[in-house]
Structures are given as structure tokens and as C-alpha cells.
Amino acid sequence: MRAGIIGVTGYGGLELFRLLSGHPEIKQVFLYSSSKEGTLLSEDAQHIYGYTDQLRSLEQLESDKLDILFSSAPSGVSTKLLPPYIERKMKVIDLAGDYRLKNADAYQKWYGKEAPNSLLVNEAVYGLTEWNKHEIQQAGFIANPGCYPTATLLAVLPLLKEGLIHADSLIIDAKSGMSGAGATPQKASHFAKANDSMSIYKMNKHQHIPEIEQTIQTLANVETNITFNTHLIPMTRGIMATIYADLSKDIQSSDVSEVLHECYGNKPFIRIFKEKADLFTKQVYGSNYCDLTFGIDERTKRITVVSVIDNLVKGAAGQAVQNMNVIFDFDETEGLSQSPLFP
């Protein structure tokens, strides 16, 4: 099979390149750049020194014959760039947020950008693999989930669906490594500011709030108004989402455990740890795993659920490859079975 990657010079694109290069079904990967066409990817990305394929232009993409196209460009770009390929029925997986929100006003409000063509938004299948496998199997066009929504939704959906927690009590405290902000240097990622420090950002206005609420509505069939905040941590990869919710009935740990195991028992990338396990982001570093634990607080009748992922793998490129595997009926773990890098 032949795959193409738009935005391959960015962090999500490089991770796609790493995973697709080791995928047994992918024979060729075409690399596209909007700014560095004709140069070698390895000139910038020294870790793949020796790789000699030139970056192709977006004009070349128009006539290239691909079995699947991944787009890992900043939000707003795929609204303009992807329609011809989706309309041509090329298989497309978009890692950006453009096609995730079904409501155009919500997209404009939270992203501050012009909403994409609504027909194509309706065509897009939300690629939360463990929850949407059947739809993904039939799909030609996938809106790959955001990194924070992936970590959050995998943790809360089973509990919401089974009515174990009050939907309107959800508080999500999420933290990300610096690669979540992409390869372009920013003020917040300047070493002297970010190192040895921690910051909160986009307080109560993060663009992933409507994505999480929309997906809870679609997949667990409940309305929510979440409190969701994000923090930047001086590490390269990783997301930890610590989630608090009121228990809806007299729930025991064994009920929660049973619901999680029932939901994810046969899912290769979800690992359920014992209650109150000391999870850390590095235990999933470089892998497609989402690790979960929880603890019931008998005193407050609240539950804490914790989820860790690698933002570039399960939160982006890994889940995109998992979705490709589902679309083409490959084993879901094909090309994704590397164990985490530790220490």
C-alpha cells in the first residue's frame, strides 16, 4: 500500500512517518511539505539521517496515486486542503480539529476559524477507535480525535454509559508534555519559561471542550457541561488526565472495575490497572497504550479516574494508524505493537 503524509515536518507528521515506515502493509510513504518541497526530510529531522526521499509539493499530491492520505497540518488548513481528496473518495485521516465538531457555530466559536463544508463534516467519522470501530470500518474519511479528548473519553465513557457517575459533575484536570504544542517554537515553550515550571493555559476555553461534550452526547447519550483545564509540563511527551465526578448511586470499586473490564477487556491498547495504581506518563511513552486507574473516595462519594497516553501516539499518529488498520481490515495492532520506551 502507498500512504501519503501532509505536515510530515511537524511532530504529528514525524510520528506518522515513524509508525508507517515500520508498518508491514505499507510499501511506500510519500511525504508532502507546503514550505520545504524538494529538500530532504532528514535535513531537518536529523534522527532519520540517511533517509533520502525528497519532500514532495502539495501540487504533486494532486496527481499522486495513494491508498490513504494522512493530514497533520495545523487546524484550519484541512478545511481548505482536503475537500478534493475526500470528494475523490481517497481514504483520508485528518489529525487536525477541523472536521471533528458537527456544529459549524461551535467550530467557529472554539477554533475562531471559518467552519469547513458541512457535507464533508457530516461524512467524517470520529476516529475514537475503541468506541467507533463499526463506523470506522465503513468510513472513507476520519476525523482523528484530539489528544486530550482521547485520554479523557476513554476514561469516562464506560462510566457515563453505565450511569455510574453524574454527567454534570465532571471535572477534568489535564496535563501535557511540550510536544503537544507542535514543532513551531512559541512563547510558552521557550526553555527558560517552560523548564522547571508548570503552567495553566486556555483556562475554561480550550477547543477540546466541545469535542469532549459532543462525543459524550453521541456515545454515552448524556448531556454534559464539563469543567476542563489544561496544563503544560516540562516533559517531551505524555498526557495525564485526572478526572473527578460524583458517584450517581452507591457504587463499589468492584462495580467500576467490572464495567471497565467488560468494556475494554478485549481491546489491545487499553490497560486497566488495579484501583489507585500510581500511574505515570512514561509507562506509555512511544506506545499506543491508554492506561487507566481509578479510586473511589468513600468520604466525598466521588470517584477519581486517571488516564495516561502518549499524545503523539494514542493521542495522534498511533490512533490514526489504528484507524487505518480498521478501515483496511488489518489486525488493529499491525505496526503498533512496540512496547513503551523505558526509562
Ligand X SMILES: CC(=O)N[C@@H](CCC(=O)OP(=O)(O)O)C(=O)O
Ligand Y SMILES: NC(=O)C1=CN([C@@H]2O[C@H](COP(=O)(O)OP(=O)(O)OC[C@H]3O[C@@H](n4cnc5c(N)ncnc54)[C@H](OP(=O)(O)O)[C@@H]3O)[C@@H](O)[C@H]2O)C=CC1
For residue 281, the minimal CB distance to ligand X (Å) is 13
Pick the binder of ligand X from 9, 78, 129, 176 (CB under 6 A).
176
- Residues 31, 81, 147, 324: which is the catalytic one? 147
Binding partner of residue 7 among ligand Y, ligand X, none, CB under 5 to 8 Å per kind?
Answer: ligand Y
CA angle 10, 336, 206 (to 5 degrees): 45
Interaction of residue 12 with ligand Y, rule CB under 6 A: yes
Biggest CA–CA distance in the chain, Å, is: 63
Interaction of residue 214 with ligand X, rule CB under 6 A: no
Q: Of 13-21, 152-160, 173-181, 322-330, which segment contacts ligand X by CB under 6 A? A: 173-181
Binding partner of residue 73 among ligand Y, ligand X, none, CB under 5 to 8 Å per kind?
Answer: ligand Y
Burial 153-178 (b: 16+ CB within 10 A, else e): bbbbbbbbbbebbbbebbebbbbbbb
Interaction of residue 181 with ligand X, rule CB under 6 A: yes
How do strand 91-94 and strand 141-143 relate by DSSP bridges? parallel
Binding partner of residue 232 among ligand X, ligand Y, none, CB under 5 to 8 Å per kind?
Answer: ligand X
- Catalytic residue status for 263: no
Question: What gap in Å lies between CA 121 and CA 109, rounded to an integer?
Answer: 16
Binding partner of residue 13 among ligand Y, ligand X, none, CB under 5 to 8 Å per kind?
Answer: ligand Y
Interface of this chain with ligand Y, residues 130 to 169, rule: CB under 6 A: 146-147
Phi-psi region for residue 202, left (φ > 0), alpha (ψ -120 to 50) or beta? left
Q: Which one, of 265, 273, 145, lies nearest residue 216 by Cα?
A: 145
Pick the binder of ligand Y from 46, 184, 204, 339 (CB under 6 A).
184
Query: Are 155 and 241 a contacting pair, CB within 8 Å?
Result: yes
The catalytic residue positions are: 147
